[in-house]
Structure formats: C-alpha cells, structure tokens
C-alpha cells in the first residue's frame, strides 16, 4: 500500500495491486505534510494540516488517535504551536519522537507516548557561548515560518529550512543550535518543502530544492557543493528510494527525475578501482591472447 494526502483535507490509503482507495481519513483542512512512523510506533501517520496542531492517525484502528497541539486536558493547558503547522518529521534515533515546524517560527519536539506529548522547542539562542547583548529571536527557531524538516541519517541532528532563507542544524540531544554556516537558499516557501539527508560514507549531504534546481550541501560544514539542474520550473518534492541510492524529484514541469546520489557514485567508483587492481595482477607480456581451437569450435 501507499499513502497520499492533498488540499481536499483527506489522507488516503491505496491498495497498490488493485489501484483503489481502501481507507480514507478526513482531517477537514488542506494537508501540508504527512509522514509515516517507524514500525516500533505501530503504524502511526502524523498529519500536518492548516491548523495549529498535528493529528496522529492509526492505520490499524482506522481512527485519529491523538492530537498534538494547544488544548486543555484535565484542566491543564497543553503547549503547542500558535500558527499553521507546515511540516513534520519522525526522529531516526528515537522512533517515538516527532518534530514539527510552524508558521509561528518555532520547531517543537513531541513524545507521542505521553498524554501531554510536548517535550521542548528549539531556540535559536541556545548555543554554547552567547552574550546577552547578542540574544535575538527570543524563543524562536527561525526569523520566519518553518517549512522544511529532516533528520540526519544517524538521527543525532535535525536540519530545518525557514522562510527566512536560512538552513539551521540542531543537536537533538542538547537541543542546541550548532550555528552551521549554510548560505542563504533562494526558494519559495509555501506549505511543506522536502529536504533529504544522505550519508555517502564520508560525510552527510543535504539536498534542498532551490527554485528549479536542487542544491547539494555538505551538512557538516554547510558549504554548497553543487546544484542538480534538470527541471524547467520549481522543484516541488524530493524523496529517496528504499535502498537510499536513488534520489527522485518532482517539479511544476510535471516531470519526475531520477538522480544518482553520491553513495551510488562512490560505489561505482569503488567497483572500478577494484576491477583495476585485479587487472594490475595480470602480466600483459605473459598472458595468452591466442584463440584456441576449442574456442573456435564453440563459436562455430
């Protein structure tokens, strides 16, 4: 099966073999993003719509089992977003933790096992060394709305993209802003923007849509390495294949493009080097290059 969501406010579950919808959940508001949890959490889907809260849909029971956001439970006011939730992402280190980004400029972390759920928010000023005179964006994660979130391959770091054209890198253990110096990203932020994090064995790479191109960053240093140029108009979505060696992108030009990731390129290079090493062991002056009679008979 696979899932789809849209501006009609519906999350649909499809049977891939028959090509029909087998389950449908109505959220009521246009959906910005949905993401599927790891098997450990029990078939939960987080849905971010044009409201100030997230909804968790349980595919097994067929119901909306939990709401994450500003509300009252047992006489206690629960903390949450004050603006529209644009994006969400499940942690790769702790499958029960969910991150959300909103138009209120905040990134919040939730533990879906708890009734109150809210854990903390990521503060721009939470850095190792900070003088009071340098404090700005108090209690905020970005200078504008947050539209993209993705965890690193190891799950230790969280990358965010805001409408302020900034990419930020966060340490999810300490909740600190690592102040990685990414260059500004020229992209039109509307709803959710897909970010992709890939580890190529040497360093982590971050793929970010930038108008009609896909910017490739070194996630460690923040340096921009290159741009993938293939779409005619704005890139709307990015995703990785199951084996994490193929990158797919979709754009307003109605094309879906497939890209070779650095992991696949590195594997191809390693294979070529191995082949070259094998050929070095062969002495070109002693190898027999004559065709035998047996070979000729087989060819005949």
Average confidence (pLDDT) over 119-127: 89
| From 47-61, 92-106, 248-262, 284-298, the region with the lowest mean pLDDT | 284-298
Per DSSP, helices labelled H in the chain are: 262-280, 293-299
Q: How many residues does the chain have?
A: 300
Average confidence (pLDDT) over 291-300: 50
Band (pLDDT 50/70/90 cuts) for residue 116 is confident
Is 45:59 a contact under the CB 8 Å cutoff?
A: yes
Q: How far is residue 46's CA from residue 14's CA, in Å, rounded to a whole number? A: 17
Which CATH superfamily hosts domain 1-147+168-185?
YVTN repeat-like/Quinoprotein amine dehydrogenase (2.130.10.10)
The answer for residues whose C-beta is within 8 angstroms of residue 277's C-beta and 6 or more apart is: none
Is 182:148 a contact under the CB 8 Å cutoff?
A: no
Work out the mean pLDDT of the chain and round it to a whole number: 83
Q: Between these two residues, 138 and 77, which has the higher pLDDT value?
A: 138
Cα-Cα-Cα-Cα torsion 39, 158, 107, 126, nearest 10 degrees, comes to: 140
Q: What pLDDT, on a 0 to 100 scale, did the predictor assign at position 85?
A: 94
Q: In this model, does residue 185 exceed pLDDT 70?
A: yes
Q: How much of the chain, in percent, has pLDDT values that exceed 90? A: 55
Q: In this model, does residue 224 exceed pLDDT 90?
A: yes
Radius of gyration of the chain (CA): 24
pTM equals 0.82
Q: Where are the domains of the chain?
A: 1-147+168-185, 195-300
Is 86:77 a contact under the CB 8 Å cutoff?
A: no
């Amino acid at each position: 099966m696979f899932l789809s969501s849209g501006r009609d406010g519906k999350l649909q579950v499809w049977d891939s073999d028959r090509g029909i919808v087998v389950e449908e959940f109505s959220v009521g508001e246009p959906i910005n993003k949905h993401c599927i949890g790891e098997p450990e959490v029990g078939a939960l889907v987080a849905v971010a719509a044009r409201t100030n809260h997230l909804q968790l849909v349980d595919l097994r029971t067929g119901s909306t089992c939990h709401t994450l956001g500003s509300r009252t439970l047992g006489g206690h006011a629960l903390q949450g977003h004050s603006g529209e939730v644009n994006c969400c992402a499940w942690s790769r280190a702790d499958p029960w933790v969910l991150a959300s980004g909103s138009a209120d400029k905040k990134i919040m972390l939730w533990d879906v096992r708890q009734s109150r759920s809210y854990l903390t928010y990521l503060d721009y000023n939470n850095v190792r060394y900070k003088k009071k005179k340098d404090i700005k964006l108090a209690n905020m994660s970005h200078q504008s709305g947050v539209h993209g979130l993705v965890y690193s391959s190891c799950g230790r770091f969280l990358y965010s993209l805001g409408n302020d054209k900034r990419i930020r890198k966060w340490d999810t253990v300490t909740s600190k802003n690592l102040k990685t110096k990414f260059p500004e990203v020229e992209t039109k932020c509307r709803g959710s923007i897909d970010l992709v994090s890939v580890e190529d064995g040497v360093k982590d790479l971050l793929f970010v849509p930038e108008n009609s191109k896909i910017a490739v960053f070194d996630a460690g240093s923040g340096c921009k390495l290159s741009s993938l140029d293939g779409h005619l108009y704005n890139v709307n979505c990015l995703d990785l294949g199951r084996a994490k060696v193929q990158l797919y992108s979709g754009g307003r030009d109605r094309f879906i493009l497939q890209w070779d990731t650095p992991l696949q390129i590195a594997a191809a290079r390693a294979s070529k080097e191995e082949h070259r090493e094998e050929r070095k062991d062969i002495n070109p002056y002693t190898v027999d290059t004559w065709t035998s009679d047996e070979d000729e008979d087989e060819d005949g």
